[in-house]
Structure 1
Amino acid sequence: MPESTEAPSAGLNRLESRLQEAFDALWDSFVDPHEAYHGEGDGWWLPVSVAGQGRGAGEGLAAPQLAQLREECRLLALTNEFAINGHENRISYAVGAGHVYHATIRKGIDAPMELAARVQAVIDEFLEVNRWHARQQESMRRLDRDGEVFLRFFVDSRGVTRIRYIEPHQIARPTAESHNPHATHGVLTDPHDVERVEGYYIDDELTAAAEVQHRKANVDSNVKRGLPLFAPVRSNLRRAEKLLRNMSVVAEIQSAIALIRRHRSASRTGVEQFVANQATQNAADRSGRVRRLTEYGPGTILDAPAGLEYEFPATGVDASSYVTILQAELRAVAARLVMPEFMFTSDASNANFSSTMVAEGPAVKMFERVQAATIEHDLEVMWRVIDGAVRAGRLPDGVGQAVQVQATAPSVHVRNRIEETRIDQIAHQSGVLSPQSWSQHLGLDYDQEQKNLRLHDEKMAGGQNAK
């Protein structure tokens, strides 16, 4: 058999070349399975609970990632003008001038009206002591900003209830409960029912669920902690803010330069001498450098000698193209909020308020949903207040079986007050609508108005007697 005459180095080089080609082909066809979970500009997607992978019901996001997400949205609510506008508009429409609460006797129950009046007095005292209207606004802001809000109840010896907020970061699983699967996120739940909360770990101390109300948003009912409102669109808000900033900076720089003179054939020394000769005054800037200024009066005509051209850079500013991009980003955020674009951007040039806030409009339906959820939570607060008064002896046992509390939110759609009043009047005359409910429709306190009417009648009678 003849021996190979090929040098060993040549054979190694050919083998290395073949291996290189094989590796290149393999690399070209390689697909990273994690690539689908990488968001543009946002890093890796945050993992959520997946059945069968070690995370139980109610987990949601991991605690550190949820805290990071909450801090990002808090920063937007503090510094981003568009996010602030979104928060404020939701408060204005969902809370408005404040909800009205009215205690009355339940249908079909034979009980004295004096009992309802006593319950109303307890509720009114609570509203005044806790500045409830302001807290309603703050609760709405916290719920949207953090995705959740914690209210803690304190009842004194007289049965007066006071509420205070608990910051979300104070609710966390203590180290001693790190192996307890039912105490994740600082929320202790029934081992057989994740929706039945038994207590909250506040600064590592367990507090009974009866002392805390937890409102959460944007998650399923079996998830323990809520998600901020702007979590899905926080990148859009940041891009919109940067785009607006960059547009303003570029426009500022371009508009600050009045004109540029191009000297086609002059030397540097010649240009400097020309500038010195044309200057009408000299001024020193903050850095101490001398700036030569030339004043051009209205209607000035410039005559350029050969080789000299004038250019006005401000005429090249085209902000409309950037504004279109900015509007597209803000439109995406408005879609998340289910708001008309003008309500989020404050640009009413392409919208009609009366057509977007009609009774069947998407924004109205959304705000009514938010109001309904707010009323449900607020009524739970009122009943905790009543229970505190019962335990203190201010109200009799079983008051909840005889009395109900009604809550009325401000209207969010465009109102025809004359038409509404006519409908209420017909309903009242037909025995369908009570004066109390009619007062609520008007945003008035029925009992207070009756007192005002009696005072008015007494004043008028006194005036007639004097005559």
Structure 2
Amino acid sequence: MNNLKQLHEAFETLISDFVDPREALAGDDGQLWQDVAAGSSASHPLALERLADVRRDCRQLLVTNEYAINGVENRISYIVGSGHTYQAVIRKHAAAPDALASEVQRVLDEFLEANEWHNRQQEIVRRMDRDGEALLRLFTDPSGETRVRFIDPEDVRTPDRLRDDPAASHGVLTDPADVETVRGYYVDGVLLDASEVQHRRANVDRNAKRGLPLYTPVRKNLRRAEKLLRNMSVVAEIQSAIALIRKHRAATRTGVEQLVASGSDAATATPSGRIEQLTQYGAGTILDAPAHVEYDFPATGVDASAFVSILQAELRAIAARLVMPEFMFTSDASNANYASTMVAEGPAVRMFERLQAAMARDDRDVMWRVVTNAVATGRLPANTRQLVDVQITPPEVVSRNALDDARIMDLAYRRGIVSPQTWSRQLGLDYDQEQQNRMMHEGGMSDDDVPNDQ
């Protein structure tokens, strides 16, 4: 009997000290981290169902959370800004007439205008931040003009008949031996050839088929910041709404009610039928209280600064995920200097320039598809791609001295280092259009005298 009792005591001690080794693999949401072997990055770091939940959460944040909205809008402003410029030029050492570059430029300009490309660029950044990816479908009409439309991520999914085929996972059909070689996309059950779709992914490796939303790791921070700000405001509102509380130490309930009624200026009935006495205190009112009446002012106990520091810590954590200065994310510039932050060596500048370069690469691919479609319909010569290049210039991110930059460009131009066309792109101007404007100004040409390129 004693042995059995000792055995029970030993088991109780062992169980109370037991630590589940899986707890080390759980996040702060209580969910276990995914086993690497169970879902490699070749398919996706998240299961498709959980990815849809994450995307839904981030979409909700981009609608309701002011901090999340501000972060994405600022990224659009710096990555896209006033818009990228696209210039068709003759390749180095290529023997081609200048007219060919003009023809290609006309095709590109038509595409940019017909597709409202500047607005579409902004939407691309918003979709990649919100959904983790942007899918563009390209259409070609009989005249060779290209049109672009967006595909919603939830419309790309694997048909039921192919659920067990790893090459068709996540709605993306790839080469069975190479996940980076995409064959097509299943959109609403229909397989579209990869040449019809451009898929821009964010925050994942190259061998991941789908992207991850920008705010995936800081969704809880955004919610906590929103709730903390709401609670701070509600508490402060309640505390500041109660001007004072009179404490009657030696009075009955009936006596207090009679005192309130006798000192009130008006009486009103609440929706529940209770009579409420109203007393108005003017500015600078002095109250005379009997010895047994005490006054308490609850608003004096409001200490919002203690919560503000916690809120700022949460917002700094989110800004760190965006690789942005805190003032860009919170719009609070009291502790930051724009000129000292947006310098060439600053991490935010490096990040924005990196994102601009990635966007320019993707945009160049679209522009080449536009040129290829024009070649296929005979609008451009078959060897256009061998003779013409497309140069893309994003807006400047670095805070610069405009006068110093102009002097540097002037010196480089005088030494034969840069061309007027490059100088124009640096200024965000269309060189050909500016030269035409100069001809009109210097020669007194009217609009009717301007040659029509159409």
Q: TM-score, normalised by structure 1?
A: 0.93
Match of 2:16 in 1: 28
Inter-partner Cα distance in structure 1 for 2:247 and 2:446: 90
CA shift at 1:57, angstroms?
2.4
Which amino acid in the other structure matches residue 77 of structure 1?
L
Equivalent residue for 1:43, pick from 18, 30, 51: 30
* Distance change in 2, residues 1:238/1:407 (3 Å): same
Q: Distance in 2 between matches of 1:326 and 1:274?
A: 44
1:212, distance to aligned residue in structure 2 (A):
0.3
Partner amino acid, structure 1, of 2:80: V
Structural mapping, 1:235-384, within 5 Å: 235-384=220-369
Alpha-carbon shift at residue 54 of structure 1 (Å): 6.8
Q: Which residue of 2 aligns with 1:403?
A: 388
Give runs of aligned pairs for residues 137-286 of structure 1, distance below 5 A: 137-286=122-271
Contact in 1 for aligned 2:41/2:208 (Cα 8 Å)? no
**Do residues 115 (structure 1) and 103 (structure 2) align?**
no
Report the CA distance shift for 1:287/1:213 in structure 2 as closer, same or farther (over 3 A). farther
Unaligned runs of 5+ in 2: 448-454
Change (3 A) 1:83 1:303: same
Tell me the CA shift for residue 285 of structure 1: 4.1
- Contact 2:319 2:329 (C-alpha < 8 Å) held by counterparts: yes
Q: Percent identity?
A: 61
Q: Which of 67, 89, 112 is equivalent to 1:127?
A: 112
In 2: Cα distance, 1:56 partner to 1:416 partner: 45
Match of 1:430? 415
CA contact (8 A) 2:339 2:399 kept: yes
Give aligned pairs, total: 447
Query: Structure 1, residues 63-122: CA drift from partner, whole Å, max 9, x if none?
Result: 001111111111111110000000000000000000000001001101001000010001
Gaps of 5+ in 1: 1-10, 463-467
> What are the residue-to-residue correspondences of 1:27-106 with 2, within 5 Å?
27-40=15-28, 42-47=29-34, 50-51=36-37, 53=38, 55=40, 57-106=42-91
Counterpart residue type for residue 287 of structure 2: L
376-385 or 295-304: bigger deviation: 295-304
Partner of 1:465: none
- How far 1:378 sits from its partner (Å)? 0.5
Q: What's 2:434 paired with?
A: 449
State how far apart, in whole Å, the 1-side matches of 2:70 and 2:32 are. Answer: 27
- Give the C-alpha shift of residue 164 in structure 1: 0.6
Q: After superposition, give the CA deviation of every residue in 1:46-75 in whole Å (9 maximum; x if it has no partner).
A: 526x24x47572332110011111111111
Corresponding position of 2:452: none
**Distance of 2:157 and 2:280 partners within structure 1:** 67
Residues 351, 324 of structure 1: alpha-carbon distance in 2 compared, 3 angstrom cutoff: same
Residues 157/331 of structure 1: CA separation in 2 closer, same or farther (3 Å cut): same
* Residue equivalent to 1:5: none
Q: Aligned partners of 2:393 and 2:265: how far apart in 1?
A: 71
In the alignment, which of 417, 429, 451 is matched to residue 402 of structure 2? 417
Query: Is 1:18 equivalent to 2:6 in the alignment?
Result: yes
Tell me the secondary structure at the aligned position of residue 219 of structure 1. coil
| Correspondence for 1:6 | none
Whether the aligned pair in 1 keeps the contact of 2:26 and 2:33 (CA below 8 Å) is no
Alignment root-mean-square deviation, CA: 1.6
Normalised TM-score (structure 2) = 0.95
Query: How big is the shift at 1:181?
Result: 1.1
Structure (1 or 2) with the larger CA radius of gyration? 1
Q: Displacement, 1:45?
A: 4.2
Counterpart position of 1:392: 377
